[in-house]
Amino acid sequence: MRFLSYILSAIIFATASLGCGIDRAPQFAPIPDSAKGLPIGIGGYGIESYGKGAYMVTEGNYQAIFFVSTKGVIVVDCPPTIGHMLLWAIGNVTSIPITHVIYSHAHADHIGGVTLFGNKVTTIAHVETARYLTLTPDPNRPVPKVTFKDSYTLRVGNQTLELTYKGENHLIGNIFIYAPVQKVLMLVDVIYPGWTPFALLGQTKNVPGYIRSHYQILDYDFKHIIGGHLGRSGTRADVLIQLEYVLDLKSNCECAINTSATDDSDIGATAVFGPVTAKNLGNGWAPFKVYLDVMADYCANKTNAKWLGKLAAADVFQFENAGVMIESLRIDYGILGPSATV
Ligand SMILES: *[C@@H]1O[C@H](CO)[C@@H](O)[C@H](O)[C@H]1NC(C)=O
Ligand SMILES: *[C@@H]1O[C@H](CO)[C@@H](O)[C@H](O)[C@H]1NC(C)=O
Ligand SMILES: *[C@@H]1O[C@H](CO)[C@@H](O)[C@H](O)[C@H]1NC(C)=O
Ligand SMILES: *[C@@H]1O[C@H](CO)[C@@H](O)[C@H](O)[C@H]1NC(C)=O
Ligand SMILES: [Zn+2]
């Protein structure tokens, strides 16, 4: 009897711990070789040289870059997950001190380790990054000492970096960092070489600005693009393929919204809104929740069919990526589908 009740409570516990029906051990498609990152050394990090003192450091999930000059080392970003390893990587290349630290943007996962460089370094960021940081004061992300609005040329010894702001993309204040001699370009949280973007198109705060930034990248004469994530840098080909993916997702989502304004038996407004409205009279959010989920699911399926196996993890965040695109098409681009009646 005790044994039976033990089994019973174990079953109840197991069912309860599965929570809201979330699969805790899903099996996703394998990662193609083209997505694999730099080899990680015994220090826990991988390093790539672009010549003339330019390097990228990664621990496999995040990336920072640094430039060795005759007068000091310039670092861009310090993700906490790389942290001390960035000091090791620099220390193993040069004994020249770190003098300048650039913040690509305000997010803690990219700059939350910058205090490792001490408080004597010159910190540089866009004026909107400084403003954003004052909204959420954080001792790990000191407000930058130097800010700029449109562009800023940083010359330290023999190294030159061109910092440029081209409007909001992933986040307000997210800047392009360009080394013209090495033809290295960094723009964080936009391009994911070999991979589909992280959830919500890399947590973008501005989908049209995010899409535009692909073209802005392509305007540069670069050999290496540093996206800030995963294990490798990218090339022009990586930017072009991601642009194709994003435009494909956009067109699939736009088609779906337009079809949902018809009497399509699968995703048409009557088919989608009817049953949920009948069950939830007076609840205006309920049909919308179902509508948006059905749209995102439909577009995720359609986009998966083309991208699975081409870009890594197309099946992981496709629903979130389709969802943010659907919502942006509706409220940014004005493709309102069934809500378009004037
Ligand atoms: C060089 O890197 C190793 C880890 O690979 C680290 O243990 C060592 O302290 C580093 N040297 C310097 C000078 O930072
Ligand atoms: C600048 O000087 C450093 C240190 O001597 C050197 O490693 C690097 O290649 C030089 N870079 C350029 C762009 O001249
Ligand atoms: C969707 O509908 C809008 C508004 O009627 C139209 O401008 C747009 O071209 C349509 N897009 C597609 C992909 O059919
Ligand atoms: C998307 O694919 C899943 C799994 O194959 C399926 O269950 C679901 O019905 C599909 N959704 C749409 C809207 O086609
Ligand atoms: Zn970010």
Determine the atom of ligand 1 nearest the C-alpha atom of 88.
14
Q: In the prediction, which pLDDT does 5 show?
A: 52
Tell me the pTM.
0.92
CA distance 253 to 324: 10
Residues 261, 270 contacting (CB under 8 angstroms): no
CA distance 99 to 54: 15
DSSP states of 150-207: SEEEEEETTEEEEEE--S-SSSTT--EEEETTTTEEE-TTT--TTBPPSHHHHH-S-H
CA distance 186 to 224: 8
Rounded average pLDDT over 255-284: 96
Q: In the prediction, which pLDDT does 63 show?
A: 98
DSSP states of 204-255: -S-HHHHHHHHHHHHTS--SEEE-SBSS--B-HHHHHHHHHHHHHHHHHHHH
Q: What's the CA-to-centroid distance between 126 and ligand 5, angstroms?
A: 14
Residue whose Cα lies nearest atom 3 of ligand 2: it is: 69
Tens digit of pLDDT for each residue in 285-317? 999 999 999 999 999 999 999 999 999 999 999
Predicted confidence band of residue 11 (pLDDT cuts 50, 70, 90): very low
Decide the pairing of beta strands 146-148 and 151-156.
unpaired
Q: Please name the amino acid found at residue 39.
A: P
Tens digit of pLDDT for each residue in 75-86? 999 999 999 999
Ligand found nearest the CA of 258: 3
Q: In the prediction, which pLDDT does 341 show?
A: 79
Residues 100, 124 contacting (CB under 8 angstroms): yes
Tens digit of pLDDT for each residue in 323-334? 999 999 999 999
Q: Which residue has the tokens 């390093």?
A: 47
Residue whose Cα lies nearest atom 6 of ligand 1: it is: 88
Predicted confidence band of residue 214 (pLDDT cuts 50, 70, 90): very high
Rounded average pLDDT over 116-128: 98
Helix (H, G, I), strand (E, B) or coil at 65: strand
CA distance 33 to 43: 23
Q: Is the pLDDT of residue 234 over 60?
A: yes
